Structure 1
Amino acid sequence: MSDTTQTATGASAPVTRSGEDLSEVRDWIALLKPRVVTLVVLTGIVGMIVAPGQLNPVLAVVAVLCIAVAAGAAGAINMWYDRDIDARMRRTARRPIPAGRITPEAALFYGIALSGLSVMLMGLATNWAAAAWLAGSILFYVLIYTMWLKRRTPQNIVIGGAAGAFPPVIGWVAVTGGVDVLPLILFAIVFFWTPPHFWSLSLWAHGDYARVGVPMLPVVAGARETRRQIMLYTIVLFVIALLPWALGLAGAIYGVTALVAGLGFLFHAWRVLREEQDETGRSLLNDTAARKAFRFSLLHLAALFAALAVDYWVPL
């Protein structure tokens, strides 16, 4: 798209609107929650790598693309449904829909269209079992987490976290057509990782959730109980993350990584638990420990799955 303006000689010259066009493209990409999709894609790729059997490289790339698009599509529908509360939360008020840069109707159509496309393409490129798991992950995130649990129960992120745990299973099924012990353990790792990861965020964003009436754990049970739950889930996660090595499904590279990264996460969870607090459990240090735990949790999950992939290629 372009407009015209007058040059020094009086002639009309085109003025490009590439900046505006680029900004619009960024908004459509933002609807897909690309930072969330990055970890989703990583876990899906690793599920494919460690699965027995082979998948044509081109079809493998298509399968990864389908996982990414499906995750993004679910995120777009989530933004459509949550547009009312997003507009009232500082952390989300500048998202494309509440900011008025994309209409809710367009975002919903975008999410539904990409969801259907990703599931259909996954079925054609790999197998329909993988497509069914992919469809299930979208429906779980949209219907179970976003529309049912999120605004009704403090267990929203515990149960709803299963939506983000599907990708390694989907990657495995794309190669094998079935499910085995290892992908189920990978599912459990992501499932138990999600609560301490997200509750660390919700400790310092609790004001936003309280303002819009979303019953996140710090809002309903208080900061002190949230800190205890973060510690508890991190302990469970530490044990589960060691299972692939303990059961002989992964080698030394993964085992050492799981041990070191797990101890690191436990250290951060302990700091969250013991951070200087008032009588209600609210931090007196601007939730510094929770912020650090949140950032470390991202590194922790990425390290686990990357190590599993390396372990597959360089067994020791």
Structure 2
Amino acid sequence: MTAVSEQRSAAPARRFATVVGGYVALTKPKLVELLLVTTLPAMMLAADGWPGTGLVAATLVGGMFAAGAANVVNCWYDRDIDRLMSRTVDRPIPAGVVSPTAALVFGGVLAAASLALLWVATTPLATVLAAVAILAYSVVYTMVLKRRTVHNTVFGAFPGAAPVLIGWAAMTGSLDWPAVAFFAVVFCWQMPHFWALASRFREDYARAGVPMLSVVAGPVSVGRQSVAWAWATLGATLLMGSLTPQLGWAFAIGGGALGAWYVAESHQWLNRIRSAVPDRPMRLFSVSITQMTLLSVAIAIDVLV
């Protein structure tokens, strides 16, 4: 076989891999992974131990499909502004890897698969919460609020924290105050997390006409509000510890320390903004991911040890 023939035979395989990779990229795997980080500890808290491998697998896969479906619809709807932003111009739809129609169908299939799996394998309440989260992110946030109000991030934080409630409901079929407190932690945590990212890509959002806080308000205002929400995250963490008898030393020490770290880093970001030096918003963004991941680990340790 000549080199030309080998290249021709390999081309379909490369195109197939590119298209499959495009569909996966539409689900925003890194964001899905971050959402699922809070689902498992919520289930463990509700069960006061290991919830069972089958239930865990069904809930995580169902949650992955639900979050993926919402993200796919987000990519489908935002394809016009994605073309204008350096961070998103290479996404599968603007890049021509996946057509808009195929993406929308894919999102619908993922949503249906998610709700069917959760209905069969978990509880009706978990299924309803997942459906509400899909609609809240893909319709209320993406289509209605994102391009119309500076408060879009706050509204978007509701579906972002929903995996906590879905995990708890999948285990118990109900909700309780510890679940609500954990929801509050994740809800408050999202504002500094995302505003740091939006500050890094402020020019992108301005070019696309999206009224993110970093576009509408000055950097100092963004920093101040991030500090306030970081303190709220710490307060919600302490409240969660007081409302959840399953939590012990790991959460008492780790949760407080991690919350204080988040507060300290948000203050440092504000100080850098005020000092007119490179503010490095992605440092706070990276710290936020580590903080939430370790907080989930602390919960798992307290439940299992």
Global fold match (TM > 0.5): yes
2: CA distance, partners of 1:221 / 1:310: 41
Whether 1:19 and 2:14 are equivalent positions in the alignment is yes
Change (3 A) 1:55 1:313: closer
Whether the 8 Å CA contact 2:66–2:110 is kept in 1: the answer is yes
- TM-score norm. by structure 2 comes to 0.94
Count of equivalent residues: 302
Q: Tell me the amino acid that sits aligned with residue 274 of structure 1.
A: N
Deviations 1:143-165 (A, max 9, x none): 11111111111110012111110
2: CA distance, partners of 1:260 / 1:71: 30
Q: Report the counterpart of residue 250 of structure 2 in structure 1.
A: 253
Match of 2:261 among 258, 261, 264: 264
Change (3 A) 1:248 1:14: closer
Instruction: Name which one, 1 or 2, has greater alpha-carbon Rg.
Output: 1
Deviations 1:264-312 (A, max 9, x none): 111110111111558xxxx541x31x11101100011111112111110
2: CA distance, partners of 1:141 / 1:206: 21
Divergent runs of 4+, >4 A: 10-14, 53-56
More helix by share: 2
1: CA distance, partners of 2:114 / 2:243: 34
Q: Report the counterpart of residue 158 of structure 2 in structure 1.
A: 162
Q: Report the counterpart of residue 34 of structure 1 in structure 2.
A: 29
Q: Tell me the amino acid that sits aligned with residue 15 of structure 1.
A: S
Residues 114-263 of structure 1 mapped to structure 2, 5 A cutoff: 114-249=110-245, 250-263=247-260
User: Where in structure 1 are there 5+ consecutive unaligned residues?
Assistant: 1-5
Whether the 8 Å CA contact 1:245–1:252 is kept in 2: the answer is no
Q: What is the aligned-residue identity percentage?
A: 36
Which sits farther off after the overlay, 124-133 or 70-79? 124-133
Q: Report the counterpart of residue 3 of structure 1 in structure 2.
A: none
Match of 2:89 among 93, 104, 110: 93
Question: What is the deviation of 1:11?
Answer: 9.4
Residues 290-301 of structure 1 mapped to structure 2, 5 A cutoff: 290-301=281-292
Change (3 A) 1:14 1:261: same
What's the Cα RMSD here? 2.0
1: CA distance, partners of 2:6 / 2:90: 36
1: CA distance, partners of 2:7 / 2:83: 40
